[in-house]
């Protein structure tokens, strides 16, 4: 049985419209998995995995402090907080929902998407942590460096979009990850603004 047969077998199961749409896109995108461009962009996208992205965030803050560059230090702090929030939400969802990754569906024709607590990476497709982390961090950087907004946006689109032909995530996993990243950075921004406002108020009161 071919990968396409397995995708169609999974689509024939009891699925809602979202599951069928996701599997239809995954089936079409699977043709491009072995393209050199997909492999190259996929390698770049691994920078958005949790360990390297955490390292980038901490290095940005550390460099800003060492260089006595308040703008860079603020960017690093924003990156760390936004990424932490996105990672927390993403982890809660991954620990609460079992969803088969597209490559697993292609292998055995089974698509599980239901509440669960699996520790198997093949069943932790929902949501896309790469997308959540990348968008949260990109927006945090853009708060301090607006001119970088466009290239950062392109980078996030590549990180999120490539997950589909790589058969790592379904489209709705990527979209959910994007929502998580966007909201997490928004919350981080509000928290930092409130803390900054409180600090200024205390300084004025104490002076």
pLDDT, tens digit, for every residue of 49-71? 999 999 999 999 999 999 999 99
CATH code for the domain of 37: 1.20.144
Number of domains in the chain: 1
pLDDT at 207 over 60: no
Range of the domain at 129: 3-206
Closest to 11 in 3D by CA, of 113, 115, 126, 110:
110
CA distances from 197 to 75, 200, 201, 202 (A): 17, 5, 6, 9
**How far, CA to CA in Å, does 139 sit from each of 1, 78, 144, 197?**
44, 9, 9, 21
- pLDDT tens sequence across 123-155: 999 999 999 999 999 999 999 999 999 999 999
Q: 77-121: per-residue pLDDT in tens?
A: 999 999 999 999 999 999 999 999 999 999 988 898 999 999 999
Name every residue whose Cβ is closer than 8 Å to that of residue 206 and which is 6 or more positions away in sequence: none
pLDDT of 21 over the 70 cut:
yes
pLDDT mean over 195-201: 84
Which helix (H) or strand (E) segment holds residue 10: the answer is helix 3-11
- Tokens at 15, concatenated: 């699925």
3-state secondary structure of 141: helix
pLDDT score of 147: 97
């Amino acid at each position: 049985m071919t990968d396409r047969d397995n995708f169609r077998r999974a689509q024939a199961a009891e699925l809602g419209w979202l599951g069928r749409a996701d599997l239809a896109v995954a089936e079409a995108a699977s043709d491009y998995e072995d393209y050199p461009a997909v492999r190259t962009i996929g390698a770049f996208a691994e920078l958005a995995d949790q360990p390297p992205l955490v390292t980038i965030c901490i290095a940005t803050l550390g460099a800003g402090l060492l260089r006595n560059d308040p703008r860079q230090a603020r960017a690093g702090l924003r990156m760390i907080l936004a990424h932490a929030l996105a990672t927390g939400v993403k982890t809660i969802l991954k620990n609460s929902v079992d969803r088969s990754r597209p490559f697993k569906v292609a292998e055995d024709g089974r698509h599980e998407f239901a509440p669960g607590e699996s520790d198997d990476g093949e069943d932790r497709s929902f949501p896309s942590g790469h997308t959540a982390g990348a968008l949260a961090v990109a927006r945090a950087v853009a708060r301090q460096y607006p001119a970088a907004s466009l290239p950062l946006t392109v980078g996030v689109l590549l990180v999120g979009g490539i997950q589909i032909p790589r058969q790592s995530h379904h489209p709705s996993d990527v979209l959910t990850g994007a929502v998580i990243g966007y909201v997490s950075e928004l919350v981080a921004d509000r928290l930092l603004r409130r803390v900054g406002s409180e600090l200024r108020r205390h300084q004025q009161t104490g002076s």
